[in-house]
Every structure is written in structure tokens, then in C-alpha cells.
């Protein structure tokens, strides 16, 4: 497969993964367990599938790979555990749109870190695309800005989520240079499950669903967001520059807001639709900018 075709395939995987993760806030809203416990079930229920996939990919080399890269896998798992724990609380305290959009300000962190430490200086076209995408997120979240203390706390947690998410994206991009997507997902998800269980227990979360519907909620979250969504994104990050991946993931708040509109009645205003179009324009501009400089 030619390089250009591979990158377009990776971009498609990134957008598909972001769409799958865009359903996650709805599962969190309807879950019968606490927010961090819901994150634990999202990860732990996916582990058997992820480990089978990893064994199919790497076979007898798997234990050695896990041992050799244990520090990197722990870092990836730590950052994503922090991301999920904080984000799930944010979803319960503010609107789905606010929680998801603020969490996706991660490109600001990614761009800064990639520039400072890896000398990946963004070009003017990429910066223009990023500006369009961020302007779009501002328009999309504008009508949902609130002044209540609960919502403000949720919004602040959304910003903290962005910091964790940026660290996760950068760690995954580096991790995929030496590990397969399957092994990276299986190893880091095991770390995440342990950390999230400890946090949920220490925080007094309700740990077990109370009904069959509650179990199907966490099972659906594990399949859609963890197995499908995160695996597609991990694959895409191995084939796309860190800054482009971070902008592409701005599709996630568009998907999440659309799902919230249809299923929980968080209707978009006219300017929010303009914001969604600006985000798409920003992703396209960033993609074309990278193509023209390679």
C-alpha cells in the first residue's frame, strides 16, 4: 500500500474510532455504577478480547514484549486511567457537549509538547486548520456555558481531562513505534483496569450494576468505546503525525453532541452547527497541509 493511501486509511480509522468513543458519554449517563467504576468495567470487560488479539498478533513473543516495554505500557495506562476517571465525573457534572469538547482541547497540549520536545514545528496551514477546529469547538459549546458551581466543576474537570488525554496520545504515538496495536492495547488496558478499580473503591463508587440492563450498559461501553474505538485510534496514531491525530480526534465531540441531541434531547442551536462544520474544515485543512509538506 502506498504511503498516501495508508495515511488516508489511518485517517478513516481515526474518525471511525472517534465516532465510537463519541457514544461513551451516553453509556456513562445511563450506567448504574459510579463514574470511575463505569470506566473500570469499560476496560476490564474488554481485556479477554484484547489479550486474545495480542496473542494472535505476537504469539510466544508476547510475554517478552510486555516485560521489555512495561514502563511504557504503565505510562500509557496511567494517563488513560486518569483521562477516563476525570472525564466520567465531568460528564455527570456538566453537559455531554461541554465535557466532551473541553476534553478534546488536547491538541493545544499536543502541539506544544511536540514542538518543544520533538521539534515538530507546525506549519501555517496546520495552524490554520487547528485554529478553525478550535473556533468550531468554541461555537459548539457556547450555548452550554453555565454559571452553576456544579457545572463549573465539571468544566474544569473537562480541561483536566484534556491534559491527561494529550499525554495519552503522545505516549501511544511513541509506543506504537515498537509495539503492535494489539499488545499496546492489552498491556496498557490491564494497567488501567487495576488503577481504575483502586480509584473507584477508594472513592466509594457503586461497583456493581444492579440489573441486567445495567450490565448490558457497561458491556456495550466496553465493546464500542474500548475495543472498537480505542483500537482504531491506536492503529491510526501509528500512521499519522501526533499533531494531525490530535486535530482529527476533534471529530469525537461532534459525534458525541450529535448522539446527545438525538438520544437525550441536547439540541444544537444554529451556531453550533456552524461550529461542527468549522471542525470538519479544520481537520481537512490540517490533513492537506501535512500532505503538501511531505
Higher per-residue confidence, 32 vs 94: 32
Question: Which residues, 6 or more positions from 78, have their beta carbon under 8 angstroms from its beta carbon?
Answer: 191, 195
Q: How confident is the model at residue 133 (pLDDT cuts 50, 70, 90)?
A: confident
Q: What is the pLDDT of residue 293?
A: 47
- What pLDDT is stored for residue 191 in this prediction? 96
- Distances in Å between the Cα of 229 and the Cα atoms of 18, 26, 42, 78, 209 are 6, 15, 12, 18, 23
Summarised one tens digit per residue, pLDDT across range 207-245 is 999 999 999 999 999 999 888 998 898 888 778 877 677
Nearest to 130 by CA among 115, 108, 113: 108
CA 294 to chain CA mean position, Å: 27
- Averaged pLDDT, 95-100: 83
**Residue 174 C-beta-side C-alpha neighbours within 13 Å:** 16
What mean pLDDT is reported for the chain?
84
The greatest distance separating any two alpha carbons of the chain, rounded to the nearest whole angstrom, comes to: 56
- 76: cell is 500509557
Closest-CA residue to 7 (of 227, 193, 245, 211): 245
Output the pLDDT for position 260.
Answer: 87
Taking residue 292's Cβ as centre, other Cβ atoms within 10 Å add up to: 9
How is residue 253 written as a grid cell?
465531540
Q: Report the distance separating Cα 62 and Cα 58, nearest Å.
A: 5
Interval 144-168: pLDDT, tens? 565 567 777 888 898 899 889 888 8
Look at the block and give the residue holding cell 504503565.
74
Q: Using a pLDDT cut of 90, give the percent of the chain over it.
A: 36
pLDDT at residue number 31: 95
Instruction: Output the pLDDT for position 291.
Output: 53
Q: Which residues, at least 6 apart from 233, have a Cβ–Cβ distance to it below 8 Å? A: 13, 14, 17, 18, 21, 172, 245, 249
Closest of 112, 246, 69 to residue 173, by C-alpha: 246
Cα–Cα distance list, 250 to 13, 78, 275 (Å): 14, 22, 11
Q: What is the pLDDT of residues 174-186, one digit of tens each?
A: 776 778 888 998 9
Residue 112, pLDDT above cutoff 70: no
Nearest to 84 by CA among 174, 24, 31: 24
Contact 21, 248 (CB under 8 A): no
- Residue 46: phi and psi, rounded to 5, are -85, -15
For residue 78, what pLDDT is reported? 96
Decide: 232 and 14 in contact? Cβ < 8 Å. yes
Residue 275 has pLDDT above 50, yes or no: yes
The CA distance from 45 to 83, in Å, is 18
How does pLDDT run across 38-87, given as a tens digit for each residue? 999 999 999 999 999 999 988 889 999 999 989 999 999 999 999 999 99
* Mean per-residue pLDDT, 119-140: 78
Q: Note the pLDDT of residue 145.
A: 62
Residue of 289 and 31 predicted with greater confidence: 31
Q: How far apart are CA 64 and CA 62, in angstroms?
A: 5
**How many domains are contained in the chain?**
1
Q: Which residues form the domain of 71?
A: 3-293
**Mean per-residue pLDDT, 268-285:** 78
Residue located via cell numbers 473541553: 102
Q: Residue 20 has what pLDDT?
A: 93
- pLDDT for 4 equals 65
When pLDDT is averaged across residues 275-285 and rounded to a whole number, the result is: 78
Amino acid at each position: 500500500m502506498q504511503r498516501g493511501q495508508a495515511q488516508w486509511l489511518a485517517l478513516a480509522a481515526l474518525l471511525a474510532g472517534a465516532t465510537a468513543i463519541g457514544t461513551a458519554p451516553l453509556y456513562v449517563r445511563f450506567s448504574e455504577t459510579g463514574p470511575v467504576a463505569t470506566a473500570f468495567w469499560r476496560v476490564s470487560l474488554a481485556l479477554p478480547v484484547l489479550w486474545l488479539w495480542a496473542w494472535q498478533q505476537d504469539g510466544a513473543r508476547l510475554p517478552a514484549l510486555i516485560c521489555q516495554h512495561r514502563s511504557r505500557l504503565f505510562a500509557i495506562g496511567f494517563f488513560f486511567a486518569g483521562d477516563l476517571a476525570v472525564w466520567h465525573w465531568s460528564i455527570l457534572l456538566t453537559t455531554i457537549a461541554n465535557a466532551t469538547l473541553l476534553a478534546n482541547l488536547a491538541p493545544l497540549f499536543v502541539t506544544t509538547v511536540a514542538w518543544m520536545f520533538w521539534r515538530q514545528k507546525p506549519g501555517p496551514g496546520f495552524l490554520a486548520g487547528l485554529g478553525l477546529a478550535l473556533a468550531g469547538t468554541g461555537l459548539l459549546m457556547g450555548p452550554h456555558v453555565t454559571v452553576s458551581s456544579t457545572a463549573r466543576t465539571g468544566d474544569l474537570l473537562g480541561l483536566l481531562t484534556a491534559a491527561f488525554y494529550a499525554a495519552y496520545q503522545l505516549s501511544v504515538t511513541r509506543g506504537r513505534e515498537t509495539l503492535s496495536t494489539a499488545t499496546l492495547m492489552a498491556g496498557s488496558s490491564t494497567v488501567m483496569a487495576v488503577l481504575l478499580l483502586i480509584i473507584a473503591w477508594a472513592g466509594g463508587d457503586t461497583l456493581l450494576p444492579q440489573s441486567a440492563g445495567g450490565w448490558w450498559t457497561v458491556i456495550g461501553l466496553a465493546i464500542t468505546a474500548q475495543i472498537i474505538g480505542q483500537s482504531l485510534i491506536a492503529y491510526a496514531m501509528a500512521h499519522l503525525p501526533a499533531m494531525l491525530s490530535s486535530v482529527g480526534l476533534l471529530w469525537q465531540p461532534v459525534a458525541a453532541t450529535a448522539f446527545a441531541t438525538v438520544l437525550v434531547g441536547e439540541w444544537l442551536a444554529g451556531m453550533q452547527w456552524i461550529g461542527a462544520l468549522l471542525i470538519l474544515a479544520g481537520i481537512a485543512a490540517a490533513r492537506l497541509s501535512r500532505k503538501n509538506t511531505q
